Amino acid sequence: MSVHQRAGTPARPEDLVDVDALLAAYSEVHPDPKVDVQRVAFGTSGHRGSAFLSTFNDDHIAATSQAIVEYRAAQGTDGPLFLGRDSHALSEPAWLTAAEVFAANGVELMIDSRDGLTPTPAISHAILVTNAGRSAHLADGVVVTPSHNPPADGGFKYNPPDGGPAGTEATSWIADRANELLEAGLKGVRRRSFDTAAAGRYDYLGEYVAQLDQVLDMAAIRDAGVTIGADPLGGASVDYWGAIAERYGLDLTVVNPAVDPAFAFMTLDWDGKIRMDCSSPYAMASLRERMASDPSPFRIATGNDADADRHGIVTADGGLMNPNHYLAVAIGYLYAHRPGWPATAGVGKTAVSSSMIDLVAADLGRTLVEVPVGFKWFVPGLRSGEIGFGGEESAGASFLRRDGAPWSTDKDGLLLALLASEITAVTGRTPTEHYRELTARFGAPAYARTDVACSRDDKAALSKLDASAVTATELAGDPITAKLTRAPGNDAPIGGLKVVTEAGWFAARPSGTEDVYKVYAESFRGGEHLALIQAEARDVVAAALRS
């Protein structure tokens, strides 16, 4: 991965998106459904694209919203639909497009009572709270967000009544129907002018903030006087942090309350683009620099992406934490400090997350539930209490309330950010210090993700690979102990390959947007051994594809 020469430096005027031109393109550009990349396509986090590229336009959202109307009707979902948006420029017009279609179809809409931005976890939380105890008239939701993507992008994702990201069956149905509507020139799409006065109102912020002490020890954070700096990165969490500080009496400062659809205050990410990735040291450069001052202004600082479903943790003693490191610490702390959780609750991780989590789970005596990439795989376990925590290596996670009931079934960056302060308050040690203790016990793994160029045919073959195609018996000098194309936690296809030894592993998965496959690798023998695993991974994948 080649790092841009200006990565981590402030954005310049020439780096900024032309917001007016972007908004004009949203309404004026019409996609051609005969062109594959201009069709509706749901990835792990909904449909994403840019109005400039004919991949996220009014037509897409009108067709997708109509498809959601028809899907929820087919499923018997006739309760309220919670509709929220983040701060990307395309989110507001797409929100309005969706509202016009939903209203014309008689959907009971619930919009923000403050006409504000809505984090993804607040939508998930609202769905679960509303559906608790119900067997009919179930609620669902839509969040208009491309998450941490650049300012020119838009995103649109559907959360069914279970509160989590929609599964493949639902998203495939919705995308297919949306593309049929695009091909028909939007014939069959019902739409009318939307009057916000006619919609239902829901206090997303108030309900979410008021219940936080049911999932976190807010009193401990307050009483310990943990100093916190929260950077919303211009996203939907901006008003939530101030409200949390006020309600619970926290020593919390909103580091940057600015909301700007061009995100002009950001530092450039690794590739020179503006990206609100709170796990990136480049996108988080401003907060990292502030925390590195002597003395540091806060004990704990946090960042969130634009829809606040991801978290970044910065400690005064260690800087920005690697997401895998923090997940391991969070798991170790929570299962030792949540006596109200089911004794049988397992630990949820994705197949490409660090094996440090495996070691922590084993040490806790908890079952490890390893699933494919995508938070949707954690939804059933979080709802039932079969898992207490579900987390992804990309800095997304959620966990149960203190009494073992579900809190959210989508990623919750606010929750994980606050957990860092609870850990510090209760134990007197920061998450960075806790991770050092883990490495002292279990060793310090080296972990990295790289991209390997490949053809579309190879990507398709890799996604459907059978483990028997792997003929190698060793990896980086060690016997291979497992060859996986299905996740051991739920037997679902991982959409790629994972090869494991006693000292390390690699996983290869095709990219959904580029002609590359991603190689995730980890070694418990250091950087040189990791590099050897990465190099041999290419050979193993190439041989498997040839077979």
Write out the catalytic residue numbers.
147
Query: By three-state DSSP, how is residue 499 classified?
Result: strand
What six digits make up the tokens of 210?
């008021």
DSSP secondary structure string, 312-335?
A: EEEETTTEEPPHHHHHHHHHHHHH
The DSSP secondary-structure symbol of 449 reads E
- The token pair at 519 is 């190689």
Any idea which residue has 């919670």 for tokens?
A: 82
Question: In whole angstroms, what is the distance from residue 202 CA to residue 78 CA?
Answer: 17
Beta strands in 160-205, from DSSP E residues, in sequence order? 200-202
- Cα-Cα-Cα-Cα dihedral sign, residues 83, 86, 87, 90: negative
E strand map for 337-477: 346-350, 368-371, 387-392, 396-399, 446-453, 474-475
Q: Please tell me whether residue 524 adopts helix, strand or coil conformation.
A: coil
Residue in this structure with the two tokens 């050979």, named with its chain if needed: 539
DSSP letter for 396, please.
Answer: E
Question: How many angstroms separate the CA atoms of 49 and 524, rounded?
Answer: 38
For helices 58-74 and 91-104, angle between their N-to-C axes, nearest 10 degrees: 40
3-state DSSP assignment of residue 49: strand
Where does residue 343 rank: exposed (0-12), middle (13-18), buried (19+ CB within 10 A)?
Answer: exposed
What is the Cα–Cα distance from 103 to 152, expressed in whole angstroms?
27
Angle, alpha carbons 40-46-48 (nearest 5°) = 60
What is the full DSSP assignment across 194-210?
--GGGSEEE-HHHHHHH
Residue 493, H or E segment: strand 493-500
Half-sphere exposure of 248 (CA within 13 A, CB side): 31
**Hunting for tokens 């995730």 — which residue is that?**
520
